Structure formats: C-alpha cells, structure tokens
C-alpha cells in the first residue's frame, strides 16, 4: 500500500529544518518534528526512510508521524512543527478577584451567633445566602483561603 501523505521538502525547507534541529533553543517537540520531517522526506534531497524506522529512531509512534505528515501536506511546514495556539481558555474563570474579596471580608468578620469562628462550610453557605455566587463548594472556599494564605483558626 502506497503512503497516503508524502513529504517532499524543497532545499529551503530542508535548510530551515536543519537549522531548527541543530541551532538555538527550541521546544523539544519542535526539534523532534523537524528531525522527523527531514528523515521522512522522499524528495531528491531526502534520505527516504520508512515511517516505522523513523519512529524507532526518534522514539515516537508511527501514528504521530502519520499525523505530522498529514499536517505538513495539508497545512504547511510551520503548522506541522509549531504547536497550535489555543483560541480560548478551556473554561471561564468562575471565582475571580471579586469572589476572593467578598470571601476575605466575610472570613474576617464576626462569626455567626452561637459560633466561635467561621468554618469553611459556614462560609460557603453564607456566600450562597448573600447571593455572591449561585453555588460554591466548601473545597473551593478552602482552596481560595489557602491561596490567599488565610487561616480560619
């Protein structure tokens, strides 16, 4: 079966990849992918290695090399060796500075009647009662207090 994606590098691309893999400081993945593309080159300047031998030589899998070849053919050299930039953060920040300020003010205030001091569970319940946040777990309150270096004792 013929390979689905064939890497054929120009002389200029080979020079760029050789510079990436030998000079300067770069991410390990970038250097690894540059070396892989050099070995996978089937053009006139390439060494024409098979994917299994390249994977063995570089300590990676054949599947990742096939993905690398696909990215190179479809998106170009830069997209193949550089990590894709994330468009948005994985999740919005729910408990930011305003939440921390309210929590700090509440933790430093007088304890509820009948209590000697605030507990993490009481703080969580009070934050919900005051409608500062719709829901919050005691563990989130505990971690936030720990991050602010505040002890309830």
> Would the pLDDT of 3 be above 70?
no
User: Does the pLDDT of residue 2 top 60, yes or no?
Assistant: no
Kindly tell me the sign of the dihedral angle through the C-alpha atoms of 125, 126, 129, 131.
negative
**Cross-strand pairs, 41:** 7
Pair (69, 106) in one structural domain: no
Residues 117 and 143 grouped into a single domain? yes
Residue 142 lies in a domain: yes
Mean pLDDT across the stretch 3-27?
88
Is position 68 within any domain? yes
Averaged pLDDT, 54-82: 92
Single pTM value for the model: 0.58
Which structure tokens are listed for 151?
């002890």
| Segments forming the whole domain that contains residue 127 | 97-147
CA distances from 49 to 25, 42, 56, 60 (A): 26, 8, 11, 15
More confident residue, 153 or 122: 122
How many structural domains does the chain have? 2
The predicted model gives 7-31 an average pLDDT of 90
Same domain, 29 and 71: yes
Least confident of 89-93, 108-112, 131-135: 89-93
Q: Which of helix, strand or coil describes residue 95? A: coil
- pLDDT for 1 beyond 60: no
Same domain, 20 and 67: yes
């Amino acid at each position: 079966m013929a390979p689905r994606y064939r890497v054929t590098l120009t002389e200029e691309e080979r020079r760029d990849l050789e510079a990436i893999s030998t000079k300067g400081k770069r991410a390990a993945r970038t250097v690894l992918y540059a070396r892989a593309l050099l070995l996978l080159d089937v053009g006139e300047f390439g060494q024409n290695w098979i994917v299994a031998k390249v994977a063995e030589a570089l300590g990676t899998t054949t599947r990742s090399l096939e993905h690398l070849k696909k990215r190179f053919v479809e998106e170009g050299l830069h997209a193949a060796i550089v990590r894709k930039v994330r468009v948005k953060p994985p999740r919005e920040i729910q408990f930011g500075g305003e939440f921390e300020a309210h929590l700090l003010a509440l933790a430093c205030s007088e304890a509820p009647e009948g209590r000697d001091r605030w507990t993490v569970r009481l703080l969580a319940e009070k934050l919900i009662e005051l409608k500062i946040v719709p829901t919050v777990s005691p563990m989130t309150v505990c971690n936030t207090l720990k991050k602010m270096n505040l002890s309830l004792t």
